[in-house]
Structure 1
């Protein structure tokens, strides 16, 4: 397994001989409007890609957690080849097909793709009314012979769904989407520093990799702050906070 953090939640994963592109958001900096009703009005994304898009378009499949524009944008929809294998949650099938993609496969629970078992997990994209408004989101567990078990939690806070997935699949590596994204009302809709600490406490044997940082206007948790928190709680041997473009294992 080899994983590259492209930017935000976009990951380029080489796993069991296949190349998977997770949550492709390929717009240049400032190309999209700010998320409204937040304490920051900067246009999105906040930073440019550090990777040549051509490399990402060589992926064998797309694995999509949900269709919010910071996870799947118009540039990706335009540039990706229309016959690429597109794996997603059932709720998003029609929206993706409406953009011309021909091989869209919903993963209700578990799907075998080119020797990789992909199991869909659930989460909470916030709590209460804000969580309801954000809609359904998914995560995925990847398993294959001679490969570590990888859990991509998706846009979720720490909750029972995540705890159950960690307990059931005992992943070697867990990618969490952090940034502590929030609106002017309601609580965080992605993981905070404390959420990440809870993941570590629950599953001390999983390597926690933190993505979804410093790219979107309502993500206020920054890498330096999170690194300081991780060191304060002596979690630096378990938690990896990669920069955009960085590889991790």
Structure 2
């Protein structure tokens, strides 16, 4: 029987992954509702508070930060949380901006982390595209992550990715994966003429098929005004694809 990796989504892109005796937190966002202004005057609006506070969450071993440029992936309280984290793995340019415990990983680069039981967990940075082709010039660089260990099922965390072609490349190296934490929500902004910045529900279902994922945990599909789909849209898309039984909700 395949071991189940405990994963809890706390809203937006923030999820706790308990893997190999370690606690990994994705993109920390703990602020209440409010507005955040981006360069160029764009405004991101958070519409719901986090269901958990940093104190309630407790200590984590590693933060997996897909990117640091946008408040819907790293808000004010999230930045404060990084100061107490022993290690933050993120993009190479993000690590330079953040300093502190941040360590940058280039795409396909891995970090070997020591586990409490004496084993290790391999964290590999995988490619992500935050928008349409060429979006990096505006959105900046983004990465996802793959967690692997000899005695653990493989976990893929997409980060803010809108490219199924990149998912195919990741599947070519790591597939089939056991569990995929897929950022969805179909966010759109006028700066990209309404193009998807992250997967929609239909694309998330296709990503699950490409990855051969046994289990899919949807994240990044609530709490922000520029998300044009919610968790129910993901469920509907997986039902239409005939793979709703792969979803883990809640």
TM-score range, shorter chain: 0.7 to 0.9
2:19 pairs, out of 15, 20, 31, with 15
TM-score (norm: length of structure 2): 0.85
2:95 pairs, out of 87, 93, 114, with 93
CA drift at 1:80: 4.2
Corresponding residue for residue 102 of structure 2: 104
Spell out the pairing of 1:1-249 with structure 2 (5 A cutoff): 1-30=5-34, 32-33=35-36, 44-67=45-68, 68-82=70-84, 84-97=86-99, 101=100, 103-108=101-106, 109-114=109-114, 115-170=120-175, 171-184=177-190, 185-240=193-248, 242=249, 246=250
In structure 2, how many angstroms separate the alpha carbons of the residues matched to 1:14 and 1:127?
32
The aligned length equals 234
Q: Which consecutive aligned stretches of 4+ in structure 1 deviate over 6 angstroms post-superposition?
A: 34-38
Q: Secondary structure at the match of 2:45?
A: coil
TM-score (norm: length of structure 1): 0.85
CA contact (8 A) 1:204 1:238 kept: no
Quick one: structure 1 residues 15 and 156, their matched pair in 2 at CA, closer, same or farther if it must change by over 3 Å? same
In structure 1, how many angstroms separate the alpha carbons of the residues matched to 2:82 and 2:104?
18
In structure 1, how many angstroms separate the alpha carbons of the residues matched to 2:213 and 2:9?
22
In structure 2, how many angstroms separate the alpha carbons of the residues matched to 1:198 and 1:54?
37
Q: Secondary structure at the match of 1:78?
A: helix
> Tell me, which stretches of 5 or more residues in structure 1 are unaligned?
none
> Tell me, which stretches of 5 or more residues in structure 2 are unaligned?
115-119
Quick one: structure 1 residues 20 and 204, their matched pair in 2 at CA, closer, same or farther if it must change by over 3 Å? closer
In structure 2, how many angstroms separate the alpha carbons of the residues matched to 1:183 and 1:130?
12
Single out whichever of 198-207 and 141-150 deviates more from structure 2: 198-207
Q: Which has the higher contact order (CA 8 A, sep 6+)?
A: 1
